[in-house]
Amino acid sequence: MPQSEIPLEGDAAPLSVVSEERVALGVALQARADEVGRMVDRQFSESLRGEAFATARLATELIGRWLATDQAASTEEEERLARQGEQAILVDAELASVAKAYFAWRDCTNVVIAEEGARLQTSDELLTLAGNVVRFSCDGSLVRIVRQFDGTRRALQQRLKEEQANLAHRALHDELTGLPNRTLLTDRLRQSAFAAERKGTKSMLLFLDLDNFKAINDRFGHPAGDCLLEVVASRLQELVRGADTVARLGGDEFVVLAEDLDDPVAAAQALAERIHQSMRAPIPIGERQLHTSVSIGIAPVLADTDPEVCLAQADAAMYQAKRGGPARFESFNEVIGKDNRRRSQLADELRLAHQANQLSVHYQPLFKLGGDMVGMEALLRWHHPELGTVPPLEFIPLLEQSREIVPIGRWVLQEATRQCRLWQDEGRTDLTISVNVSARQLQDPEFCDDVVHALIQSRLEPSSLALEVTETVLVMDIVRIGEMMQRIRDLGVHIALDDFGTGYSSLLYLHGLPIDRLKVDRSFVAGLGSSERDATIIATVVDLAHKLGLQVVAEGVETEAELRAVVDMGCDEAQGFLLGRPGPAHLFSAGLRVLTG
């Protein structure tokens, strides 16, 4: 065999000695090869990160095979060949074809194998890697390089192995907490349902959602939120047995799968109690001590339940628990199931409700105590063709979840300001309109523009408009929402704090926010006849509010006795069924004309 040829195919005479001439060719190719080498490194690191993982593995196998066929095993032999500027390599048929393709790819048509080169269809990455192999094989100082390259190969293989394990782990675990993710949990749930069927074991699922995660994230930033999630994750892990699974589904949602329980209902409830207990300890984050709590929903893992159904049941129970207030737990039952089905039906149908003209705005009058009607509150209504009137407390949270509250709230604002201006034009020039707004609207950077736009379009004075914000909204995101409130207040629009007394904040904490008016929640007014405590609360609130320069409105006045009581306590205004129920605008248009004579 002529020395200038590398044996390309077959197993005949596998050992070839690289000649001076071949080395010269190698050197000529070096510049290009270096460029290719850099490309290889880049592509390799990209392919490790990305989807081209399989290609990289294939390439290392190829390299591995090449190195494995290197016959120059003894050091003396290697040294002897190196001294001669020669190197022995055994090139197998497959590597030879790849090498051919590489040369073709690099347009090295003058290379011996050029004429056969273009046939092989291989990816660019693989060819580049194979090219690198060939580059080494063309180099006179091959011995040392082979050794270096062998090291590189091992490092590459190690990295590939780690990456592979990492990918497998990442596919099944949550990155932040390291807990199993939804995929792994679903698998364990399936196994658990299977074990229930085969061996009659009993397992329970606990669905957890933090009660104030959004507030913590908004107030203290995402790193604090992440730390909180990590602490919650480790506290949960400490509470369960080794065989149980604690998973994170994403956001602030965690799931505990407690398996093989003797008395499953009692055990799950006891675990829920222990979870509440463990969350009570403050969580140190930086300089701060944060407090959190969770809402928990419990569902059984039955023999024939699909994991998704089981999760949905526990989730529905959690939702029910949350509706009762923070730090509660609830077990799934048929009523919750029905409730949940209705909620998802409503959520689906709500999407089309606005287009289908099923939404309207009703109005409820507001009176100055001992005086005249001073304003109207706009209240959104949904008239469902089959279900009848759906209460706002049921559908507004759904609008908030889907963020549809932003466009629909904008429409309510336009509708209400237009109607108020109409009433003013009919003669009640001092009539004001109150519009309820949700947190999502106040967090929308364009909300202030929406208000301006509604005022311009309706030609209503800013001072004739009041926005009602619930106290819980402020607890959620006081900085951003406070800024938005200030921008709105600067327009001359009034701001009322709605349902006061139902949230967690004190009046002093709210001082400094641009609020003009407090609406005391109707649960306090309803308790006036029977509860000394509620009477004291209202009296204290009225007193403090007045000192802070705020007006006080009593909500939900239903009886003469309640009316007298709120007058006695010094409330400024009142609203309630006794004074006027909410109704469509046309009802009041007639009434207003009578009032204005």
For residue 392, the minimal CB distance to ligand C2E (Å) is 4
Q: Does 498 bind ligand C2E (CB under 6 A)?
A: yes
For residue 187, the minimal CB distance to ligand C2E (Å) is 41
* Stretch of 61-69, 246-254, 318-326, 462-470 contacting Mg ion, by CB under 5 A: 462-470
Q: Does 414 bind ligand C2E (CB under 6 A)?
A: no
Site string for ligand C2E, 364-383 (x = CB under 6 A): x--------------xx---
Give 558-566 contacts, CB < 8 A, sequence gap 24+.
558/525, 558/526, 559/529, 561/528, 561/529, 562/525, 562/526, 562/528, 562/529, 565/528, 565/529, 565/535, 566/369, 566/525, 566/528, 566/538
* Stretch of 264-272, 301-309, 422-430, 549-557 contacting ligand C2E, by CB under 6 A: 549-557
- Of residues 241, 251, 272, the one with CA closest to residue 182: 251
Binder of ligand C2E out of 87, 409, 465, 535 (CB under 6 A): 409
Site residues for ligand C2E, window 439-478 (CB under 6 A)? 468
Using DSSP, how many helices (H) and how many strands (E) does the chain show? Answer: 24, 19
State how far the Cα of 157 lies from the Cα of 208, in Å rounded to an integer.
41
For residue 555, the minimal CB distance to ligand C2E (Å) is 6
Number of residues assigned to the chain: 597
Contacts of 421 (CB under 8 A, 6+ apart): 458, 459, 460, 464
CB atoms within 10 A of CB 506: 9
CA 7 to mean position of chain CA atoms: 59
For residue 557, the minimal CB distance to ligand C2E (Å) is 6
* Stretch of 44-52, 100-108, 330-338, 553-561 contacting ligand C2E, by CB under 6 A: 553-561
Q: Does 501 bind ligand C2E (CB under 6 A)?
A: no
Nearer to ligand C2E, 7 or 580 (CB): 580
* Stretch of 136-144, 336-344, 433-441, 450-458 contacting ligand C2E, by CB under 6 A: 433-441
Taking each helix axis from N to C end, the angle separating 447-458 and 478-490, rounded to the nearest 10 degrees, works out to 20
Would strands 359-368 and 253-258 be described as parallel, antiparallel, or unpaired? unpaired
Nearer to Mg ion, 139 or 555 (CB): 555
- The strand ranges marked E within 218-369 are 245-250, 253-258, 283-285, 288-290, 294-301, 329-331, 359-368
Nearer to ligand C2E, 128 or 364 (CB): 364
Bridge partners (DSSP) listed for residue 368: 573
Binder of ligand C2E out of 290, 576, 585, 592 (CB under 6 A): 576
Q: Does 180 bind ligand C2E (CB under 6 A)?
A: no
* Stretch of 88-96, 115-123, 253-261, 392-400 contacting ligand C2E, by CB under 6 A: 392-400
Site string for Mg ion, 433-452 (x = CB under 5 A): ---x----------------
* Stretch of 233-241, 350-358, 364-372, 549-557 contacting Mg ion, by CB under 5 A: 549-557
For residue 570, the minimal CB distance to ligand C2E (Å) is 20
For residue 520, the minimal CB distance to ligand C2E (Å) is 10
CA 109 to mean position of chain CA atoms: 56
Q: Does 498 bind Mg ion (CB under 5 A)?
A: yes
Please report, for residues 87, 124, 151, 482, 492, the alpha-carbon distance to residue 163 in angstroms, rounded to integers and kept in the order given. 34, 22, 18, 47, 60
**259 binds, options ligand C2E, Mg ion, none, Cβ within 5 to 8 A by partner type:** none
Q: Does 582 bind ligand C2E (CB under 6 A)?
A: yes
Write out 269-312 in H/E/C secondary structure: HHHHHHHHHHHCCCEEECCEEECCCEEEEEEEECCCCCHHHHHH
**576 binds, options ligand C2E, Mg ion, none, Cβ within 5 to 8 A by partner type:** ligand C2E
**573 binds, options Mg ion, ligand C2E, none, Cβ within 5 to 8 A by partner type:** none
Q: Which residues of 522-540 are buried (b: 16+ CB within 10 A; e: fewer)?
A: bebbbbbeeeeebbeebee
Binder of ligand C2E out of 191, 354, 558, 591 (CB under 6 A): 558
Cα R_g (the chain), whole angstroms = 37
Contacts of 72 (CB under 8 A, 6+ apart): 78, 81, 87, 88, 89, 143, 146
Q: Does 419 bind ligand C2E (CB under 6 A)?
A: no
Token digits for 457?
């379009």
- Of residues 341, 319, 336, the one with CA closest to residue 328: 319
State how far the Cα of 49 lies from the Cα of 72, in Å rounded to an integer.
35
* Stretch of 19-27, 190-198, 322-330, 389-397 contacting ligand C2E, by CB under 6 A: 389-397
Residues that bind ligand C2E (CB under 6 A): 364, 379-380, 391-393, 396, 409, 412, 436-438, 468, 498-499, 522, 555-558, 575-577, 582
Residues that bind Mg ion (CB under 5 A): 436, 468, 498-499, 555
